[in-house]
């Protein structure tokens, strides 16, 4: 299923929210939205291998019924099933089953649905940390960068703070920002959800890291789509 795209108005809404939040804080907020955090190729491979193995087991258990059925389907008369013919059939069945399941899981929503939640959550966290290290970590003079990361396919968000903020703000504090984001996201209003989270993060930053007179904008305010 194609994920909804962010319009120019959506980008402006989030960028304006970032600018407003940073107007009263020395903190720097980076916002990132991605359609999907991982391709989950390894998960598809595991399911495809299991499907191929199950097909071989079915062929072995039900050989007495399956082999005559194949003879009828192919119009074979008095066909002699040699060891080579049986192994060839097993190879064809396993290969077709493997490829069918792998491609189905790679290119349909079924693949994500069959991925365990803990795996999805871990992959989103890993991708968010990668984006944080590239786009926010240690890129401000006071180590006051915060990333708000939203992964659409997995329906999951992450908020990651730089060292100076993490030393003063407990991770559970960001729960208010997550809650503010949730209702708009459920209604399909991504930009409004991100803007609400930015506002809550801005309140925390304003409390612990008030803006100084010589503060400069060190990170871009714009919403980033990756």
Q: Give the global pTM.
A: 0.84
At 174, is the pLDDT very low, low, confident or very high (cuts 50, 70, 90)?
Answer: very high
pLDDT tens digits, residue range 39-70? 999 999 999 999 999 999 998 898 888 878 88
What pLDDT digit, counting tens, does each position of 108-117 carry? Answer: 999 999 999 9
Q: Are the C-beta atoms of 128 and 9 separated by less than 8 Å? A: no
Q: 131: burial class by Cβ within 10 Å (0-12, 13-18, 19+)? A: buried
Which residue carries 């119009």 as its tokens? 75
Per-residue pLDDT tens digits for 160-172: 999 889 899 888 8
Considering only the top CATH level, what class is 8-38+117-225? alpha beta
Q: Do 145 and 162 contact (CB within 8 A), yes or no?
A: yes
Q: Give the domain ranges of the chain.
A: 8-38+117-225, 41-113
């Amino acid at each position: 299923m194609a994920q909804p795209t962010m319009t120019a108005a959506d980008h402006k809404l989030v960028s304006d929210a970032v600018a407003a939040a940073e107007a009263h804080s020395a903190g720097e907020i980076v916002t990132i939205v991605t359609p999907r955090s991982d391709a989950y190729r390894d998960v598809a491979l595991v399911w495809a291998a299991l499907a191929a193995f199950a097909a071989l087991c079915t062929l072995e258990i039900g050989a007495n019924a399956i082999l005559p059925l194949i003879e009828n389907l192919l119009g074979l008369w008095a066909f002699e099933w040699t060891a080579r013919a049986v192994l060839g059939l097993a190879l064809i069945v396993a290969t077709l089953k493997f490829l069918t399941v792998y491609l189905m899981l790679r290119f349909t929503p079924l693949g994500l649905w069959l991925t365990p939640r803990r795996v999805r959550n871990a992959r989103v966290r890993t991708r968010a940390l990668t984006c944080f290290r590239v786009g926010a970590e240690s890129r401000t003079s006071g180590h006051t960068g915060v990333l708000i990361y939203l992964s659409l396919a997995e329906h999951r968000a992450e908020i990651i703070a730089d060292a100076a903020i993490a030393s003063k703000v407990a991770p559970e504090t960001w729960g208010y920002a997550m809650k503010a984001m949730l209702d708009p996201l459920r209604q399909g209003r991504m930009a409004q959800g991100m803007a609400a989270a930015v506002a809550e993060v801005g309140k925390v930053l304003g409390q612990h890291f008030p803006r100084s007179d010589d503060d400069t904008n060190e990170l871009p305010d714009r919403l980033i789509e990756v």
